[in-house]
């Protein structure tokens, strides 16, 4: 079955989004120290999901972007279900790592719940703000709606996620530091990856124009 080129692009953008989202929820159980800044390990990839949401919003509209957000929530729920199932299944008698596995994956379960709540609130805010600005700027100033929507949504995402995922596991000062620095890092990544988002959007539009001429 042949899919139209624009649907193939949508499929690949969505698949990339889902992969980054699910992997981020797994690796977030680890807290890293980057030059004295305490951050969840997911910070290296999760911010790129906002780039993809904005690219999908720009190319396919608000309704399709919301579909991707809903699908991501479902993917998170499925992952949580299967993680819990693997924890409950009895280990082989010769396998000595059940406690270590539970320690890591049970932590991931709490992280996933935090991620599901923060993800849904933040991504829906991102789509809403992005299209609020687009209705006023038209096709111009993609960089503006991308970065403003991401900056606002990341504030929701970071605060909700860190409080739910890590409250009670570390001192309050460390928790607040993590919120502040993670928000700054995510916002900086959003600004830095702006050229990449233009590359994705313009590349897709160029290919769409070529496909239209060929058709």
**pLDDT (tens digit per residue) in 68-81:** 999 999 998 888 88
pLDDT band at 150 (very low <50, low <70, confident <90, very high): very high
DSSP character at residue 90: P
Per domain, the residue ranges of the chain are 5-214
Q: Which has more confidence, 68 or 24?
A: 68
pLDDT band at 214 (very low <50, low <70, confident <90, very high): very low
Give the integer Cα–Cα distance in Å for 108 and 110: 5
Q: With 80 as the cut, is the pLDDT of residue 5 above it? A: no
Give the integer Cα–Cα distance in Å for 146 and 192: 12
Give the integer Cα–Cα distance in Å for 175 and 5: 45
Give the integer Cα–Cα distance in Å for 107 and 104: 5
pLDDT in tens, 85-127: 998 999 998 999 998 888 877 766 677 788 789 989 999 999 9
Helix (H, G, I), strand (E, B) or coil at 32: strand
pTM: 0.83
CATH topology of domain 5-214: Arp2/3 complex 21 kDa subunit ARPC3 (1.10.1760)
Half-sphere exposure of 60 (CA within 13 A, CB side): 23
The contacts of residue 171 (CB under 8 Å, 6+ apart) are none
Give the integer Cα–Cα distance in Å for 56 and 47: 15
Give the integer Cα–Cα distance in Å for 215 and 202: 20
């Amino acid at each position: 079955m042949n899919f139209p080129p624009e649907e193939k692009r949508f499929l690949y953008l969505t698949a990339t989004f889902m992969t980054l989202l699910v992997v981020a929820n797994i690796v977030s159980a680890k807290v890293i120290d980057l030059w004295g800044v305490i951050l969840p390990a997911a910070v290296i990839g999760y911010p790129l999901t906002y780039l993809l949401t904005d690219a999908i919003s720009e190319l396919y509209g608000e309704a399709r972007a919301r579909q991707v957000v809903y699908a991501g929530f479902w993917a998170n729920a499925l992952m949580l279900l299967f993680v819990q199932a693997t924890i409950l299944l009895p280990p082989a008698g010769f396998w000595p790592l059940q406690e270590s596995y539970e320690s890591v994956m049970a932590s991931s379960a709490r992280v996933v719940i935090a991620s599901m709540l923060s993800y849904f609130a933040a991504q829906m805010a991102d789509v809403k703000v992005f299209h609020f600005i687009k209705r006023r700027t038209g096709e111009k100033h993609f960089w503006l709606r991308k970065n403003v929507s991401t900056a606002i949504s990341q504030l929701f995402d970071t605060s909700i996620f860190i409080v739910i995922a890590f409250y009670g596991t570390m001192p309050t000062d460390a928790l607040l530091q993590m919120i502040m620095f993670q928000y700054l890092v995510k916002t900086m990544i959003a600004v830095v990856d702006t050229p990449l988002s233009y590359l994705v959007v313009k590349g897709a539009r160029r290919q769409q124009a070529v496909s239209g001429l060929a058709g």
